[in-house]
Amino acid sequence: MAKKQSISKLKKRLDTLVSQYVRRSRIEQDGLVPCFTCGIRKPWKEIQNGHFMSRIHINTRFDIAANGNCQPQCYRCNINLSGNQWNYARKLNERFGKGTAEEIEARSKIVLKLSAIEYKEKIKEINELLKLLTD
């Protein structure tokens, strides 16, 4: 009988996959990924998965849409500047339309609790998307 995986381990696995997907899906023709907030360009392994709304908000934590909560960020913007929130909001609205940042913020406030089955489904979905990037 297979050992049951804890929610925390499933969440950690999904975080890892989402991070890989967000960073790898934004690779440009020269092989580099631009930081969403400052524009510096780095290899995907040197870029982080930044979140406009904090990861504590499960409803937007794994939002990988092009106009979503998760965007590539350099270490300086994501860590040293605590997400560079003002610029992040400005860039979201500039690139994806006025009100995008506010919409993400509103969605983040909706309480969501995922079951182990839902985490496993999301893990499967992201794995499929990652496979498409390597094919």
**Span 90-120, pLDDT tens digits:** 999 999 999 999 999 999 999 999 999 999 9
Q: How far from 98 is each of 9, 79, 103, 113, CA to CA, in Å?
A: 37, 26, 10, 29
**Quick one: pLDDT at residue 2?**
59
CB 45 within 8 A of CB 39: no
| Alpha-helix residue ranges (DSSP H) falling in the chain | 7-25, 58-61, 75, 85-96, 100-108, 116-134
Enumerate the domain spans of the chain. Answer: 27-124
Per-residue pLDDT of 9-37, as tens digits, reads 999 999 999 999 999 999 999 999 999 99
Tell which residue, 116, 88, 107, has the closest CA to residue 11.
116
